[in-house]
Structure 1
Amino acid sequence: MDGILRAAAELLDTELSEPVDLGGSRRSTVLRCRTGSGESVIVKAYTDEPEARRCFAAEAAGLSFGLAGPEVLGVDPKVPLLVMADLGDSPTLADVLLGSDAKAAGEGLVTWARALGRLAAKSVHRRVEFRQLWARYGTGMTAWDDEPWIARNVAALPAVLDAVGVAAPAGLCEELARMGTAGGEEYPAFTPGDTCPDNNLLTPQGLRLLDFEAACYQSVFLTAAYCRTPFSTCWCVFVLPAGIARKVEEAYRAEVVAVYPALAEDAVWQAGMRQAVAVWTVNATVRLLPQTVEDGPMHRTRRPVATRRQVLRHRWHVASTLGEFPAFAQTVRQLLRKAAREWDVAPLPHYPAFRAAGAGRT
């Protein structure tokens, strides 16, 4: 911590004191500090491992892009670390979803979706600029835009299925190969990457996004699918009431239609969304199914929280009617039948804020 403070103080040319550890991760240390003038700032320092370096490059490029997130006060690629303006201790979207106020949760979700849609719309014509920022901080590393994670998941799925005794139906490999990037070639836009509920502050000035470690350009459908299969890569996963889910999805869609008019066509939008649901369901299956030999919570400390088996079963349920991918739909139905036989686990409930309003279960 002393070394981080010295490097950040030198970067800002001011004394830093009163460090408070905000948690960070295995890749990073995050501190709230006071400057010599009494201002509160956030220092985020990364380890020197390749994955951490890549996350630093994404965060430095994404925040320097200037479209969202806290103001960047300084970047030191040598440490590496960033110093950012402190956005304070406002509640996160996770806080309201896991609370008891359905109105606050619904408004928070719509605010989140609208802000992400506006961010995407503002970014469409600035991809070259983002590439230049990545080149500055990425030092030759592959950008997240170019990471073949969908193809890697597709290649891994048959072995994951075989390990649990589920036979891949005829045509599955061909369907998986057609998933592509879920519209990324036609409808790309900027995203912080990790837009999970705990990375969104609901401040008096509006929604403020945190955590740009996976910042990239990706299909707008992959972002919008976080509304249809709630928070596709996150720990804070429960069920949204159908009416709320539609409202949230339409809030995002209304913003991106301004730059991609073709998305106003329901046929185009629905096909892209179904493809994105398939992509995220493959991702969840490959990532979580090997961890369900013994069930466990999606987060080590946060409560309430769903279990991995609950989340997977819900993901499979949503994907079980994907008409464009009949072999994949058959696959997830097989997984659902296996889960019904072998997993003694309750259905995934609604987010706590909506349970208080009598939303029920699904």
Structure 2
Amino acid sequence: MDLILRAAGSLLGTELSDPADLGGSRRSTVLRCRTADGGTVIVKAYGREPEGLRSFTAEAAGLSLGTAGPALLGVDLRTPLLVMEDLGDAPSLADVLLGDDPKAATDGLLAWARGLGRLAARSVSGRAEFTRLSARFHQGVPSRADDPWIERRAAGLLRLLDEAGIAVPPGLADELASIGAVGDDRYPAFTPGDTCPDNNLLTADGLRLIDFEAANYQSVFLTAAYCRMPFSTCWCVFRLPAAPARDIERTYRTEVTAVYPELAEDAVWEAGIRRAIAVWTVHMTVSLLPLAGTDRPLHRTRRPVPTVRQLLRHRWEMASTLTQFPAFARTMELLLHGPARDWQAPPLPLYPAFHG
């Protein structure tokens, strides 16, 4: 802690004190610290393991773009750590979705979708700058852009099916390769990476995004899928009523269509969204199925929250409707009638804000 405070204070030219732990993760420590003049800043220090170093590079480069997150006040390549502005304690999208005000939840969803869409649209011309910044903050480990994660997850799914004794439907491997094409470079845009309900603040000045540890350029469809699934890789996942679900997807799509006009064609949009849903379903299946032997909540402290089994079943039910990929859809049905058959996990309910 003393090392972090000294390094961060040196960047700012002031003494820092009263560190308050804001949670962080296994990759990073996040502190709110007081400055000598009575203000506050956020200090984020990263672990020295490869994932921590990769996260540092991504966040330093992403925040340096100055597009959507807190202002970056200093970067220490040696510790490594970042100092950024303190955006305060405004509620997040997770807070309003888990609350009891449907209007606040709807407004928050639309602000989130509009903010992500505008960020994507503004960023299309900035890829070379992001690449330059990533090289500047490089820590000697491969970047996420160099990680063939979609292919790795596809291979992981095939292994899981074999271990579970589930016969692989003919053609699944070829379909997974086709589905993975959504990760190509046809419609790239910047994203903070982890665009989940808790990684933003709904401030008086509008949506402010936080957590750029997975910042990168990826297909807009991989972000758009968060609108429909919803929240493809997140813990704060319940069902959305039909109207808000349609509205947030339309809001995001409108923004990115301004830079990629062909996305106004329904056939193009639907094909990309369906592939992205399949990619994220594979990703979460490989991540969570090994943990589903005994059910548990998806978050250590937040409530209400779905369980691992609830979320997997919800994802598999949606993916089983992707009939344009018959082998993949059949695989989802086999998972529903195999591992999920005896789970007795209740169906995923609506977000609490929409219960009434």
- Structure 1 length-normalised TM: 0.96
Conserved 8 A contact 2:99-2:353:
yes
The corresponding residue for 1:360 is none
- Note the aligned Cα RMSD (angstroms): 1.1
8 A Cα contact 2:309 2:340, kept in partner: no
Q: Distance in 2 between matches of 1:181 and 1:137?
A: 29
Deviations 1:57-92 (A, max 9, x none): 000000001111000000001000000000000001
1:33 is aligned to 33
**Conserved in 1, the CA contact under 8 Å of 2:193 and 2:212?**
yes
Q: Over residues 145-193 of structure 1, what are the superposed CA-to-partner deviations in whole Å (9 max), with x where a residue is unaligned?
A: 2321100001111111122222111111111111224153110000000
Q: Hey, what's the Cα distance between the residues in 1 that align with 2:127 and 2:341?
A: 48
The question of 1:135 aligning with 2:167 is answered no
Q: Distance in 1 between matches of 2:231 and 2:301?
A: 18
Q: Please state how far the C-alpha of 1:140 moved relative to its aligned partner.
A: 4.0
Tell me whether 1:70 sits opposite 2:43 in the alignment: no
What's the counterpart of residue 319 of structure 1?
Answer: 319
Q: Provide runs of 4+ in structure 1 moved above 3 Å.
A: none
**Which secondary structure state, in structure 2, belongs to the residue aligned with residue 38 of structure 1?**
coil
The match for 1:92 is 92
Describe the SS at the equivalent of 1:342: coil
Residue identity over aligned pairs, in percent, reads 67
Task: Note if 1:109 corresponds to 2:123.
Answer: no
Instruction: Name the counterpart of 1:354.
Output: 354
The Cα offsets for residues 109-149 of structure 1, whole Å up to 9 and x where unpaired, read as: 01100000000000001100000000001144322223211
Cα distance in 1 for partners of 2:174, 2:60 equals 38
> Following TM superposition, by how much is the alpha carbon of 1:23 offset from its aligned partner in structure 2, in angstroms?
1.4
Is 1:303 aligned to residue 299 of structure 2?
Answer: no
> 2:144 aligned with 1:144, yes or no?
yes
Q: Which amino acid aligns with 2:12?
A: L
Match of 2:270 in 1: 270
Scaled by the length of structure 2, the TM-score of the pair is 0.98
- In structure 2, C-alpha distance between the alignment counterparts of 1:39 and 1:181, rounded to whole Å: 48
Per the alignment, residue 245 of structure 2 pairs with 245
Structure 2's unaligned 5+ residue stretches are none
Inter-CA distance 65–322: structure 2 relative to 1 (3 Å threshold): same
Aligned to 2:56: 56
- Aligned twin of 2:7: 7
Tell me how far 1:320 sits from its aligned partner. 0.9
Counterpart mapping for 1:159-238 below 5 A: 159-182=159-182, 184-238=184-238
Do the aligned residues in 2 keep the contact of 1:110 with 1:247 (CA within 8 Å)? yes
User: For structure 1, which segment, 41-50 or 255-264, has the greater mean C-alpha deviation from structure 2 after superposition?
Assistant: 41-50
In 2: Cα distance, 1:181 partner to 1:79 partner: 38
Where 2:42 maps in the other structure, the secondary structure is strand
* 1:279 aligned partner: 279
Unaligned runs of 5+ in 1: 357-362
SS in 2 for 1:182: helix
Q: Does 1:337 align with 2:337?
A: yes
**Counterpart contact for 1:183–1:220, Cα < 8 Å:** no
